[in-house]
Amino acid sequence: MIQQGERLTEVLNLGAGEHIALVGGGGKTTLSLKLAQEMRAVEKRVIFTTTTKVWVKEGYGFPHLTLCSPRADLLTEVCRSLKTVGHFFLAREILDSGKLRGISPTEADLIYKRLKPDHLVVEADGAAGRPLKAPAGHEPVIPSSATVVIAVMGLEPLARPLDQKSVFRFTEFERITGLREGQRLSSTALAKLFQAPEGLYKGAPESATRIVFMNKSDLCNHPAEAEHLASILVKGSTGRVDRVVMGSLHTGIYTAIPPFH
């Protein structure tokens, strides 16, 4: 059964009290902002943060930015913000690079377990603004208490020749997919990003729900190839994916394809 809808939280099938980690490329920050808009309307205590670094302007895109100095007691400061503003982006400090330094995965675990927010959403990966990404050895930085891991990709390069403008961590991407520069970005090769042990779900808790979010369907010139990729992932012959959502964060139209079990 294919489910269509306009609310991300419903199409992603998110439950109450989720700890959500976002990995991959092609729209993680936009996905966070969209979730923030929806959650703000119905939830009172929602924290957004990162276990890496994001640009300062991204932090200010949320209703409130809480900066907790490395010298301050994290739980005390976060508890105060939950009581006063309820819905905010959490970071440790503004760096000279113009980025916000986030929190460690251990700190994310502590906040989730001790303070029990309605949701904790963590951007656990960086992609330098590119639609596709493969993780380096130290990536992604997923907290151990994450209950949902959403791997994001942009569909616009699908079926086009592979180039370094479309991919972050190009060497790792070549190794995982088996592709070389100039070769066609096929659905079969891209499926390996989600299925391989060293792919986007590397380090994800075994108990966490694994969701693939295929973004920018409005910019995809090869919809049949995108549908083929979705079918490979939901059939689950290799690796484990619990849910595939395809759509566009720009248009707000999404289609969820449950797995065939």
Segment 194-235, tens digit of pLDDT: 999 999 999 999 999 999 999 999 999 899 999 999 999 988
Q: What is the pLDDT of residue 257?
A: 82
Q: What is the pLDDT of residue 261?
A: 41
Closest among 42, 54, 49, 51 to 64, alpha carbons compared: 49
Q: Does the pLDDT of residue 4 top 70, yes or no?
A: no
Biggest CA pair distance of the chain:
53
**17-50+120-257 has CATH 1.10.10 classification:** no
Contact at 8 Å (CB) between 51 and 110?
no
Least confident interval from 150-164, 189-203, 230-244: 230-244
**Domain boundaries along the sequence of the chain:** 17-50+120-257
Cis peptide before 140 (omega within 30 of 0): yes
Q: Does the pLDDT of residue 1 top 80, yes or no?
A: no
Burial of residue 248, with CB atoms counted within 10 A of its CB: 0-12 exposed, 13-18 middle, 19 or more buried: middle
User: Sorting pLDDT into bands at 50, 70 and 90, what band is 5?
Assistant: low
Q: What is the pLDDT of residue 69?
A: 87
The overall pTM is greater than 0.85? yes
A 10 A CB-CB count for 132 gives 26
CA distance readout (Å), 243 to 8, 14, 196, 208: 13, 11, 16, 12
Hey, which bits of 132-201 come out as E strands? 132-133, 148-154, 167-168
